[in-house]
Amino acid sequence: MSATTHARAFARSFHPVGLAFALLFFVWSMTPSLLPRAWYLQGVATGIGIVTGYGIGCLIAWVLRRCGVHPDWSPRTRRIGWWVLAGVAAVVVPTFLVLGSWWQQIVRDLVHTERVERSLYLPVLLIALVVALLLLMIGRGLRAGTDRLTRFVDRYTPAPVARVTALVIVVALVVVLVNGALYRGILGAAEEASAVADTGTAEGVQQPTAPERSGSPESAEAWDTLGREGRTFVAGGPDAAQIEAVTGRPALEPIRAYAGRVSADTVDGIAERVVAELKRTGAFDRKTLAVVTTTGRGWVNGSVADSFEYLNGGDSAIAAMQYSYLPSPLAFIADRESPQQAGRALFEAVHDVWLALPEDARPALVVFGESLGSYGGQSAFASGSDLVARTDGALLVGTPNFSQPWGRITQQRDPGSLERLPIVDEGRNIRFAAHPDDANLPGAWEFPRIVFWQHGSDPITWWSFDLVLHKPDWLREPLGPDVDPGMRWIPFVTFWQVTLDMVFSAEVPDGYGHSYGPEAADLWADILAPEGWTQADTDAVRAALGG
């Protein structure tokens, strides 16, 4: 059989209803979502949308046939139908490629990201077709395998039983392959590669000499055991002289206690080593002590940590630990247990020592964390009330949608408040903010103060499997000012759009997406309310942070 004959046979294998839905999903896939997408990610999103639409169209046609609907179209009518479909596609595809590129420029303007050449959108269609055909071939291969297995089982069982049995076997094999050998193989390789990368040190990072820092010559935690992100953390941040220069007040040298993944065999063991560092440095004698759950390889947001130290005049200590070698994106997908174990272990270990101190000699105990750090840190608390009862404040940043008690707090918000900015108990203790002004509610804000900091355009916060078939409240309600008003919830499509938005969600300017920066100073000022602190002081700290 010639290549031309093969091509014609392949073309005839497509169902017209499936193609019509594929075209519809192509149009939908080009619509805006939370963040601007690179042209190649748009191609992937569109390819997934095309094959999803094709599958839905074919499913609808199959259901109609099973219900006895069998249109008897004449050959001439069929030809006209194909030509109409082709004509519509010839107009719709280039039109929405142009519109899609225009919509992306609007989204870039909203998040203050540099515009790109719209001509880069030309390869989107090619990438989309490659992705769609690849997924379609995989689907057809699974269907062919199921059919062959059905014919084999049919020799020994009734046809309906054979079909169900074959389907169950194929699905089970796919799950075992993807979630078993393939998953573990990829995860294992990624962890090994990440462990090797973890031995390096970021450019410009040098071992601290101050005894208040883990990894210093006086520390029990050796410099080379802290991991790449841990070394960056303990070597960074302002010293006493810098704090004095910015705030105009006397300052102490801030304490940063840290332990790396290799320091102990268990998460509890690592947490105990951090507590030992807190005791060594006199952290429990400081004014404020922060417990931080890190992300993936041990990263701590520098703006949040630094501003915390500025506002405390250096009379502070931060406790953190590394619990994984995996970078955050992989940990987000593959390892949601370790952050929770680490969050509980470190907070409980610190809290036990803190609780044993005389009540009038305890430092204020606060918690903070970003992304997986927020998720893991919250696992130490059963509810919002528990968070209020057991801490003296918290700043939880860019919280993933699957986090608790964040989810329950959001769900139980006061009637009429927005999902993206919930009001809880009239803002008595817990408040949500996309920007500092959002925390200023009419009612009294009592201590301790808890802030959930989340941008309306942050896909990490709004991504959920529920997006596949469920329209969330944040898309029913008025969108955030950093989100394109044209964004709409579309079944299946919105899920993949937001999924791909996560890829570069931190590669946008501070204040948008998953990028949280110097505005942390404003929120810490609200949470801690230092005596004599003014807005001018906050502005000075924000300027020192680069804001």
The pLDDT of residue 174 is 55
The pLDDT of residue 148 is 72
Backbone angles phi, psi at 234, to 5 degrees: -70, -25
**Chain centroid to CA 329:** 8
Spell out the per-residue pLDDT of the chain, length 547, in tens.
566 666 677 777 888 999 999 999 999 999 999 999 999 999 999 999 999 999 999 989 888 887 877 777 888 888 898 899 999 999 999 999 999 999 999 999 999 999 888 777 788 999 999 999 999 888 877 777 766 766 665 666 665 655 555 555 655 555 555 555 545 555 666 666 667 678 889 999 999 999 999 999 999 999 999 999 999 999 999 999 999 999 999 999 999 999 999 999 999 999 999 999 999 999 999 999 999 999 978 999 999 999 999 999 999 999 999 998 777 776 776 678 889 999 999 999 999 999 999 999 999 999 999 999 999 999 999 999 999 999 999 999 999 999 999 999 999 999 999 999 999 999 999 999 999 999 999 989 999 999 999 999 999 999 999 999 999 999 999 999 999 999 999 999 999 999 999 999 999 999 999 999 999 999 999 999 999 999 999 999 999 998 6
The pLDDT of residue 72 is 77
Write down the H helix ranges in 177-321. 183-197, 227-235, 240-247, 267-281, 302-311
Q: Quick count: other Cβ atoms within 10 Å of Cβ 309?
A: 29
Q: How far apart are CA 279 and CA 260, in angstroms?
A: 17
Backbone angles phi, psi at 30, to 5 degrees: -85, -10
Q: 293 - beta bridge partners?
A: 369
Q: Which pTM does this prediction carry? A: 0.91
Task: Say how many residues make up the chain.
Answer: 547
Q: 213 - beta bridge partners?
A: 256
Structure tokens at 366: 């606060």
The pLDDT of residue 99 is 93
Residue labelled with tokens 């998720």:
375
The pLDDT of residue 182 is 46
The pLDDT of residue 71 is 78
Q: 295 - beta bridge partners?
A: 299
Instruction: Give the closest residue to 464 by CA, choosing from 512, 417, 387, 406.
Output: 406
The pLDDT of residue 2 is 62
Contact indicator for 291, 308 with CB cutoff of 8 Å:
no
